[in-house]
């Protein structure tokens, strides 16, 4: 989207006003506000007036309740509609705004000299996108934008602490961003060892003890009971991998990875394909190889080979450089990625999707979190299993009761009260995605201490997990008093599942290194689900789609229960893994053979 033509920006505010807009003009009132920047963010300077913002206006979706009911129906075993996923047009009809909303928002924009020809609209008309300078955005939203700096990373964002809308538009507009969102979309991984790692021959039979020290695709297939199962490469099943922040997936590194650890894939010329979103790139310079991207593609492909894998590289992300008059905007790439995916035809969509990025829930304004979460519901209704890493900070910052912090604690609310609090992760806390926690070791497999887990403060506990989560809290009543005020016991609980997440052997820059994080468990679990979808599709059945209603009713019987470990954070021990579901490892880790028998019993 090009910056609005100068002539249009110089028009008097009411030069293009329609009779409808004049009839509905009303005073501005605050739509959304923050008392202060989230912890770790500080004011840097006023935003340059000519800095371009790619503004997205989310119109209300009056029929979303019908879409949500359809999602439950097509995702819940025993329902007459189970597996009958909705098509693109069906979903768009259910989220389309009311005609009055469309007309009133158009009139408001015209009042500010913005021609309708400058707007871009989503297929369902529920998002309006336009690129305009900060000065015009400030007039449109009755606000002032500033540059904020994230002290730990040095990243910058152009944001505001509040914005307003004409009073008559509040019922028609859910959210306007970028405005009050400070999420950084951080990858959930860390490099453990930069030095080359010695590998056993790929032809060596898998030895369980070796998998306690280094994880390879062979380890994962053994631990999760894949056996000799070989999926189809041509059934139409696809696995998607979301990438952001100029994390580039390197094909040479991946080919070397396959040569050493999955030679049959290398011999077949197996490789992920790439789709670029919002001016995204995927540099193949060896020095540009991304640790997160390589981890994702090598293990998603390593588990699911020969199922086609697609790496989606989304541009449009921070950092913004405040000292330069740069044309780079600072929009949240989630919005661009979701717009791209939802515009795809049903045939083009992957059946499973892994994302290893996220941030603290409280850095995402409630209204925006709900809209993003609702878009994941749309993907689920169309038959896509959406997985997210649960995070790497346990219940907050990963610090146990005996640890020392390097700086001020981050386990504080950003509501202006600075109250001690566990920090839920988003989008893992969205009830329409499957959150993947972490484990390590095997025989027995146990919770890795950094496994993100807990309870959302934004989203209430969904019905599908009422019995499991209620049972956990009833069996562990001490948490309600010990952690009183630190978490919301009535919130959506996560993770839902888990998988290995430590000591993953990754080829990066031509060398094998070890990496860890729920960034590793998420593509691993997604690879297993892609195998399950293959089993279903080749048996003439629909793919699983949104997993959680299935998972919490019958699917969990195909999982290995993890009962050892905890997830410390915020100077506490966090929660304990235990029999059944728990907020450290969810239902545990997948057993492919057991799951296959559940979904295709004959």
The torsion angles phi and psi of 428, rounded to 5 degrees, stand at -55, -30
Mean pLDDT of 503-515: 95
- The larger pLDDT score, comparing residue 522 to residue 315, is at 522
CB atoms within 10 A of CB 26: 11
Distance CA 419, CA 411 (A): 8
What are the beta bridge partners of residue 560? 589
Whether residue 17 is predicted with pLDDT greater than 50 in this model: the reply is no
Q: Which long-range contacts (CB under 8 A, 24 or more apart) does 101-104 make?
A: 101/59, 101/60, 101/172, 101/173, 102/59, 103/20, 104/20, 104/21, 104/24, 104/168, 104/169, 104/172
Count Cβ atoms within 10 A of the Cβ of residue 200 and give its class: 0-12 exposed, 13-18 middle, 19 or more buried. middle
Q: Are 294 and 254 in contact (CB under 8 A)?
A: yes
Nearest to 70 by CA among 573, 582, 549, 600: 549
Beta strands in 521-600 (DSSP E): 559-560, 589-590
Domain boundaries, the chain: 6-61+97-177, 186-599
Q: Are 396 and 411 in contact (CB under 8 A)?
A: yes
CB atoms within 10 A of CB 416: 9
Distance CA 232, CA 35 (A): 53
Question: Which pLDDT does position 417 carry in this prediction?
Answer: 87
Q: Would residue 296 show up in a list of annotated catalytic residues for this protein?
A: yes
The torsion angles phi and psi of 509, rounded to 5 degrees, stand at 65, 30
Q: Are 48 and 40 in contact (CB under 8 A)?
A: no
Between the alpha carbon of residue 100 and those of residues 24, 25, 97, the distances in Å are: 11, 14, 8
Question: Domain 186-599 carries which CATH code?
Answer: 3.40.50.200
- Of 294-303, 320-329, 382-391, 560-569, give the lowest mean pLDDT range: 320-329
Distance CA 401, CA 37 (A): 27
- The larger pLDDT score, comparing residue 28 to residue 279, is at 28
Nearest to 451 by CA among 567, 369, 357, 573: 567
Q: Would residue 375 show up in a list of annotated catalytic residues for this protein?
A: no
- The string of DSSP codes covering 3-27 is PPPHHHHHS-TTTT--HHHHHH---
Q: Are 496 and 550 in contact (CB under 8 A)?
A: no
Q: Rounded to the nearest 10 degrees, how much is the dihedral formed by the CA atoms of 123, 127, 130, 133?
A: -160
Distance CA 588, CA 468 (A): 13
Whether residue 13 is predicted with pLDDT greater than 60 in this model: the reply is no
Nearest to 370 by CA among 160, 175, 570, 78: 175
Tell me the two tokens of residue 556: 């969990």
Mean pLDDT of 109-115: 95
Tens of pLDDT, residue by residue over 406-464, are 877 789 988 888 899 999 999 999 999 999 999 999 889 999 999 999 999 999 999 99
Distance CA 143, CA 162 (A): 7
Mean pLDDT of 560-570: 97
Tens of pLDDT, residue by residue over 202-249, are 444 444 577 888 999 999 999 999 999 999 999 999 999 999 888 899
Question: Which pLDDT does position 287 carry in this prediction?
Answer: 84
- Out of 390, 429, 519, 530, pick the active-site residue: 519
Question: Which pLDDT does position 150 carry in this prediction?
Answer: 84
Whether residue 253 is predicted with pLDDT greater than 80 in this model: the reply is yes
What are the beta bridge partners of residue 357? 187
Please give, one letter per residue, the 3-state secondary structure of 244-264.
CCCCECCHHHHHHHHHHHCHH
Distance CA 97, CA 59 (A): 6
Tens of pLDDT, residue by residue over 305-361, are 999 999 999 986 544 555 544 434 445 678 889 999 999 999 999 999 999 988 889
**Residue 21: pLDDT band with limits 50, 70, 90:** very low
Tens of pLDDT, residue by residue over 462-494, are 999 999 999 999 999 999 999 999 999 999 999
Please give, one letter per residue, the 3-state secondary structure of 294-341.
HHHHHHHHHHHCCCCEEEEEECCCCCCCCCCCCCCCCCCHHHHHHHHH
Distance CA 371, CA 51 (A): 26
Mean pLDDT of 112-141: 95
Question: Which pLDDT does position 316 carry in this prediction?
Answer: 66
**Residue 24: pLDDT band with limits 50, 70, 90:** low
Question: Which pLDDT does position 196 carry in this prediction?
Answer: 54
Between the alpha carbon of residue 410 and those of residues 190, 241, 426, 519, the distances in Å are: 19, 30, 16, 22
Provide the b/e sequence for 563-588 (b: ≥16 CB within 10 Å): bebbbbbbbbbbbbbbebbbbbbbbb
Question: Which pLDDT does position 189 carry in this prediction?
Answer: 66
Between the alpha carbon of residue 524 and those of residues 298, 371, 442, 459, 590, the distances in Å are: 10, 28, 15, 26, 10
Question: Which pLDDT does position 199 carry in this prediction?
Answer: 56
Tens of pLDDT, residue by residue over 371-417, are 999 999 999 999 999 999 999 999 999 999 999 888 777 899 888 88
Nearest to 339 by CA among 88, 127, 101: 127
Tens of pLDDT, residue by residue over 143-196, are 999 999 888 878 888 999 999 999 999 999 999 999 998 877 777 766 554 445
CB under 8 Å to 482, separation ≥6 — which residues? Answer: none
Tens of pLDDT, residue by residue over 52-101, are 888 999 999 999 999 999 999 999 999 999 999 999 999 999 999 999 99
- Out of 126, 292, 359, 445, pick the active-site residue: 292
Question: How far is the first Cα of the chain from the last one, in angstroms, to the nearest whole number?
Answer: 52
Q: Rounded to the nearest 10 degrees, how much is the dihedral formed by the CA atoms of 580, 548, 584, 412?
A: -140
Question: Which pLDDT does position 208 carry in this prediction?
Answer: 55
Tell me the two tokens of residue 507: 């080829």
Whether residue 1 is predicted with pLDDT greater than 90 in this model: the reply is no
> What is this structure's pTM?
0.91
Q: Would residue 100 show up in a list of annotated catalytic residues for this protein?
A: no
Q: Does the annotation list 582 as a binding residue?
A: yes
């Amino acid at each position: 989207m090009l910056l609005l033509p100068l002539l249009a920006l110089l028009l008097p505010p009411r030069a293009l006003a329609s009779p409808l807009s004049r009839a509905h003009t009303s005073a501005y009132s605050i739509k959304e506000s923050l008392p202060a920047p989230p912890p770790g963010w500080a004011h840097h300077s006023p935003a340059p007036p000519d800095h371009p913002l790619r503004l997205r206006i989310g119109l209300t979706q009056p029929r979303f309740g019908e879409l949500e009911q359809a999602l439950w129906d097509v995702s819940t075993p025993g329902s007459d509609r189970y597996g009958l996923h909705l098509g693109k047009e069906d979903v768009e009809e259910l989220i389309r705004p009311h005609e009055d909303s469309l007309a009133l928002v158009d009139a408001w924009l015209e009042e500010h000299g913005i021609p309708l020809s400058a707007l871009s609209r989503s297929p369902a008309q529920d998002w309006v996108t336009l690129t305009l300078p900060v000065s015009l955005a400030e007039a449109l939203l009755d606000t002032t934008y500033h540059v904020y700096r994230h002290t730990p990373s040095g990243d910058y964002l152009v944001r505001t602490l509040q914005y307003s809308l004409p009073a008559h538009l509040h019922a028609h507009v859910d959210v306007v961003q970028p405005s009050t969102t400070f999420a950084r979309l951080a990858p959930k991984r860390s490099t453990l060892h930069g030095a080359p790692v010695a590998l056993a021959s790929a032809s060596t039979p898998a030895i369980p003890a070796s998998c306690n020290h280094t994880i390879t695709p062979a380890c994962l297939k053994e631990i999760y009971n894949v056996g000799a199962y070989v999926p189809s490469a041509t059934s139409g099943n696809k696995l998607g991998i979301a990438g952001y922040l100029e994390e580039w997936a390197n094909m040479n590194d991946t080919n070397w990875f396959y040569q050493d650890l999955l030679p049959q894939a290398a011999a077949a010329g197996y490789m992920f394909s790439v789709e670029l979103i919002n001016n995204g790139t995927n540099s193949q310079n060896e020095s540009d190889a991304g640790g997160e991207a390589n981890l994702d593609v090598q293990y998603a492909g390593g588990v699911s080979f020969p199922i086609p894998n697609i790496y989606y590289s989304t541009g449009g992300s921070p950092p913004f450089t405040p000292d330069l008059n740069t044309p780079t905007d600072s929009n949240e790439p989630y919005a661009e990625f979701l717009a791209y995916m939802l515009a795809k035809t049903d045939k083009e969509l992957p059946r499973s999707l892994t994302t290893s990025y996220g941030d603290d829930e409280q850095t995402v304004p409630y209204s925006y979190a709900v809209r993003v979460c609702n878009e994941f519901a749309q993907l689920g209704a169309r038959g896509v299993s959406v997985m997210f890493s649960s995070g790497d900070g346990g219940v907050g910052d990963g610090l146990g009761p005996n640890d020392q912090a390097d700086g001020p604690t981050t386990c504080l609310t950003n509501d202006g009260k600075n109250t001690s609090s566990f920090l839920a992760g988003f989008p893992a806390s969205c009830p329409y995605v499957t959150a993947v926690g972490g484990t390590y070791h095997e025989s027995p497999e146990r919770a890795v201490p950094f496994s993100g887990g807990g309870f959302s403060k934004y989203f209430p506990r969904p019905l599908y997990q009422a019995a499991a989560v209620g049972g956990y809290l009833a069996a562990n009543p001490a948490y309600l008093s010990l952690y009183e005020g630190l978490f919301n016991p009535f919130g959506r609980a996560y993770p839902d599942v888990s998988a290995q997440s430590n000591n993953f052997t990754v080829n990066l820059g031509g060398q094998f290194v070890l990496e860890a994080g729920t960034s590793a468990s998420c593509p691993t679990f997604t690879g297993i689900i892609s195998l399950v979808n293959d089993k279903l599709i080749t048996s003439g059945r629909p793919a699983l789609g949104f997993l959680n209603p299935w998972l919490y009713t019958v699917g969990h019987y195909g999982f290995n229960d993890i009962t050892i470990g905890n997830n410390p954070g915020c100077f506490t021990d966090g929660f304990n893994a235990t029999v059944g579901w728990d907020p450290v490892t969810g239902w545990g880790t997948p057993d492919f053979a057991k799951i296959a028998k559940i979904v295709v019993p004959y």
